A and B are shown apart, each in its own frame.
Chain A
């Protein structure tokens, strides 16, 4: 049905593309405005800088996209990221592999705790993840003794600053993982189950989909994504501060995924669109820095964008899936 109308009217297909995937129109608009407003924006080093920034948030956003399509939120990603970064730096005396595995293990453990309490004990996800957010903040402070810690392995910092195929290595890794995540969402049973549960959990249960297991896995993925983001940040700075990830990161990540068009009620969304949201927010942030806008306007814009996106989300129903 939709295909025939598209074939007849190219303009109609463009319109349906814009209404179902508005993020790409938004991104193009922001890109044009940023290039006009600031000459330095279009330089290669600046664009690669935006990609690198997006890589750090991107790992958190990938995990959050799984969870939001599933119909949940995770408010703990900010401090999970911070704790993972602290472990990545602090465990370096035991070797780089131990440090990274320790960080990823911690992310998985928090994801498992969140997932257990939401799917098995059946406590509201908001309460569970908010509690984890505070608790992990405490763990970061306990682990770092309230101090900034600095890494000892220089090669790790060199890796964080390195380039692959002309792009920042971290951005290349993030894009590869994002592509893999998109594949999992579209082509595997787990992905299809995630959409089905987010769309209608009761119907999914009646259809024999393992609802609890799928939810649990998505909480794990979200914790793991946050931990990878922490490893990225640690490698970028070769240091970790106890305040990493507090208090704005959750706001930014949820805004990113929602701006990408993932429905807040679940059941609709994609990784590619999350990438659009990432780049859009990355460009906004970057141009504000270039234009020397005070950093609190960044917070203001994140808040307003999030509220506008929720408004649009509620008022404009997706035309098709």
Chain B
């Protein structure tokens, strides 16, 4: 009996985010008739697919012991890039350029954090300002759009359906699986965990820490580039601040997913569940007739509550 109880407690400790997900799902379905309909579920999933893709990269950065606050501005930039270049050089080259822009931004942040050993929080806070300014300089502050949205297959990425499933959701699953394999089944993934968990020890085992840290930022840059493509394809137009605040949604999701805040542990699947929870919550607030901004204050409470329960479960008491 006691064994079963401690086993249950252990499962709750390990899979807390899944339990929270199921409880919230039950609560939302019981309080709203619309919530569990095909239309609403696909709506929520389409909304979160972009955050989910970026969260895949962010999970690597946080496991490596760093933060990336620049993803919101980078989403704005890559979205604007893909939209403006679509009519000039065609969709495929535009998408390649968008991913390259993401990669270059990741290389810059990654080099400064990995090789120059600078504080990632401050560096990416600076990058947040710089990338947003570059976006505005690039467009001259103007709204950009694709001239003939009906004449191109490009809109399929963000708006299309395959076998009744929204294409961006399929994209999220594919990218999630690739990132999850990279994290848990490759030597590279183990090195990221080692660098985040114990930088000193990992150095003595011959891991090139600087390069590993830089690569996590590059992965986030690529993921954000893909996110920008998805967002551009869904909107077929972009204003200059389109990705503003995405960093908060993404980081909140990864934190809810239980990625260790001090680095060393994390799970792509749980990060995506964390993102889904935020998406469901936002959706539920609107279904319940509340203004969209209530979700921000709710996020405050939820982040603190979840992280508190998480650290309390790990150390066995509420206060440290």
Contacts and interface: CB of A to CB of B under 8 A. Distances in A.
Interface of A: 73, 117, 120-124, 126-128, 130-139, 141-142, 146, 247-248, 250-251, 254-255, 258, 264, 294, 296-297, 299-300, 302-307, 310-311, 314
Interface string B276-311: 000000000000000101111111110110011001
A303 B300 contact: no
Given A73-B121, A251-B126, 12 more contacts: A127-B255, A131-B300, A135-B300, A294-B136, A299-B132, A300-B133, A302-B129, A303-B133, A306-B126, A307-B112, A314-B117, A314-B119
A141 B285 CA distance: 15
Given A138-B298, A247-B244, A314 B118 contact: yes
A121 B67 contact: no
B303 A127 contact: yes
Given A254-B125, A258-B122, A120 B304 contact: no
A121 B128 CA distance: 30
A297 B320 contact: no
A146 B293 contact: yes
24 contacts: A121-B312, A131-B300, A132-B300, A135-B297, A135-B301, A137-B296, A139-B297, A251-B125, A251-B126, A264-B122, A294-B141, A299-B132, A300-B130, A300-B134, A302-B129, A304-B130, A305-B126, A306-B126, A306-B129, A307-B123, A307-B126, A310-B118, A311-B116, A314-B117
Given A126-B67, A307-B127, A141 B122 contact: no
A310 B311 contact: no
A124 B262 CA distance: 8
Contacts of A248: 129
A54 B297 CA distance: 30
A123 B251 CA distance: 15
A127 B261 contact: yes
Nearest to B261: A124
B299 A121 contact: no
A272 B129 CA distance: 26
Nearest to A264: B119
A82 B219 CA distance: 35
B123 A310 contact: yes
B245 interface: yes
B319 interface: yes
Nearest to B136: A296
A121 B319 contact: yes
Contacts of B11: none
Contacts of B320: 120-122
Which 3 A/B pairs are nearest by Cβ-Cβ distance? A135-B300, A303-B129, A138-B296
B269 interface: no
Nearest to A298: B133
B130 A303 contact: yes
B248 interface: yes
Main secondary structure of the interface of B (DSSP, over half): helix
Contacts of A299: 129-130, 132-133, 136
Interface of B: 67, 112, 116-119, 121-123, 125-130, 132-134, 136-137, 141, 244-245, 248, 251-252, 255, 261-262, 291, 293-301, 303-304, 307-308, 311-312, 318-320
A131 B304 contact: yes
Contacts of B128: 251, 303
A296 B133 contact: yes
A311 B113 CA distance: 10
A311 to B, nearest CB: 6
A136 B299 CA distance: 10
Nearest to B297: A138
Contacts of A314: 116-119
A248 B128 CA distance: 9
Nearest to B241: A247
Contacts of B129: 248, 251, 299-300, 302-303, 306
A138 B133 contact: no
Contact of A297 (B122, B127, B133, B304): B133
A316 B137 CA distance: 33
Contacts of A138: 293-300
B214 to A, nearest CB: 16
A121 B255 contact: no
Contact of A134 (B123, B299, B318): B299
A120 B319 contact: yes
Contacts of A247: 244-245
A122 B126 CA distance: 27
Nearest to A303: B129
Nearest to A258: B122
A134 B244 CA distance: 13
Given A120-B320, A123-B261, A311-B116, A128 B122 contact: no
Contacts of A135: 296-297, 299-301
A302 B132 CA distance: 11
